[in-house]
Structure 1
Amino acid sequence: MGLFNRSSNAAAPAPVAAEETSSIVADLSGDYVIDPTHTRLGFSARHAMVTKVRGQFDEFEGTAHVDAANPAASSVSVVIQAASVTTGNAQRDGHLKTPDFFDVENHPQITFVSTKVERNGGEWDITGDLTINGVTKSVTIPFEETGSAKDPFGNTRIGFEGSTTINRTDWNLSFQAALETGGVLVSEKVTLEFDISAIAQVPAQA
């Protein structure tokens, strides 16, 4: 129900598109810095085989070089502070920081460094080395361009969304507990979720 009631004889509002995007950049090429205040690096995993727990990391930084004409020359690098993990439950967050999962005292950072970039129209496949808990594995993350815009502060922004599913045990995130009814407490499959807003860097003047 709406916050304000509308009288029955009031004119109906014009329909609003479910998704609205903008595009001011014809060529995405350039150097970018990820804006952490408008970016989500998250994950979800099934709990007790009946529902999903969702979380994210609140402290991270990243850069990207985009070459639209030659996508293979593009690159991405991200550093995440593992201790910034949050799922909305302090006890669970504390457990995630222990050696059962991220072991933040010995492995304070999660990193991703691209090794291959491919593009097909507005879709990008970024392959890279993902390091968690001191273990490095290659993953491929499909991304979709979500638009570009000039914000009120004069920044040129581009957006991307992507996700991929990994098996957490490949990175030694192996804590598990069996359920009395069969099955396990935490799914081994974890979906990584990315909503990226990146700001174009203005080249320094000579």
Structure 2
Amino acid sequence: MGIFSRKNDTTVAVATPVAGPGLGHLTGGYTIDTTHSQIGFAVRHAMVTNVRGEFTEYEGKLHLDGDQPANSSADLVIKVASIDTNQAQRDEHLRTGDFFAADTYPEIRFRSTSAERVGDESYRLTGDLTIKDTTRQVVLDLDFTGHATDVYGAERVGFEGSATVDRTAWGLTYNAALETGGVLIGEKVKLSFDISAVKAA
């Protein structure tokens, strides 16, 4: 299946590379398990509802420091062409130059620049998000959801959270006016992540 693989199980929420109190034993490198994770988004449509979607092909690495969360980091690469909103015609439009221009800019990248603990198991991750060769800073609010050793003996950690961004900051400006007033597509996009990551052997 290569580096990128389509996920089979989904839930909506965020990955964070920071650990909670007393989790020093979790310090180390982790790989995101794409079969048990989801990277999703939601955007207002026609002023009345939300269209939801996800990216199904991506890879990510985390470095966790359970004792010093500020030393943690995350690196994520998403294949733009894997966008899926459960409507094929819309997905094809999103891949065109009106939106992501997937043929020219095939990847979305996120690289963290800082991490901080803001609650017992809550964290804030700041990083650079690059879309269409434009890089802007984003801030993710995150929760550590637990750790366990699975039936195969792999040590896993979980994180969830979200961030809200303005798509026009990355040149995603396409829109259409509605006859009743307003526009077809909202500018604010809620990003959501639900991540299961496996510790490197």
Following superposition, the deviation at residue 26 of structure 1 comes to: 3.8
Q: Does the Cα contact within 8 Å between 2:165 and 2:188 map onto a contact in 1? A: yes
Aligned match of 1:126: 125
Q: What are the residue-to-residue correspondences of 1:37-186 with 2, within 5 Å?
A: 37-120=35-118, 121-186=120-185
Amino acid of the residue matched to residue 51 of structure 1?
Answer: T
Return the alpha-carbon distance in structure 2 between the equivalents of residues 171 and 201 of structure 1.
Answer: 34
CA distance change for structure 1 residues 90 and 103 in 2, over 3 Å: closer, same or farther?
A: same
Deviations 1:157-205 (A, max 9, x none): 1100010100000000010000000011000000000001000112xxx
Return the alpha-carbon distance in structure 2 between the equivalents of residues 63 and 114 of structure 1.
Answer: 11
* Percent identity of paired positions between Structure 1 and Structure 2: 51
Q: Does the Cα contact within 8 Å between 2:23 and 2:67 map onto a contact in 1? A: no
SS at match of 2:42: strand
SS at match of 1:68: coil
- Structure 1: stretches of 5+ with no match in the other structure: 1-22
How many residue pairs get matched? 179
CA distance change for structure 1 residues 68 and 26 in 2, over 3 Å: closer, same or farther?
A: closer
Return the alpha-carbon distance in structure 2 between the equivalents of residues 128 and 98 of structure 1.
Answer: 26
Amino acid of the residue matched to residue 200 of structure 2?
Answer: Q
Return the alpha-carbon distance in structure 2 between the equivalents of residues 53 and 151 of structure 1.
Answer: 34
SS at match of 2:176: coil
Following superposition, the deviation at residue 71 of structure 1 comes to: 1.6
Please provide the CA RMSD for this pair.
Answer: 1.3
Give the TM-score, by structure 1 length.
0.84
User: Which stretch of the first structure deviates more once superposed, 116-125 or 94-103?
Assistant: 116-125
Amino acid of the residue matched to residue 42 of structure 1?
Answer: G
Following superposition, the deviation at residue 33 of structure 1 comes to: 0.4
Asked which structure has the greater CA Rg, the reply is 1
Deviations 1:53-102 (A, max 9, x none): 00000100000001122222111000000000000000000000001111
Give the TM-score, by structure 2 length.
0.86
Deviations 1:114-166 (A, max 9, x none): 00111132111110000011110000101101111111111111100010100
Following superposition, the deviation at residue 41 of structure 1 comes to: 0.4
Q: Does the Cα contact within 8 Å between 2:47 and 2:182 map onto a contact in 1? A: yes
Return the alpha-carbon distance in structure 1 between the equivalents of residues 172 and 116 of structure 2.
Answer: 29
Larger RCO of the pair (alpha carbons < 8 Å, separation 6+): 2
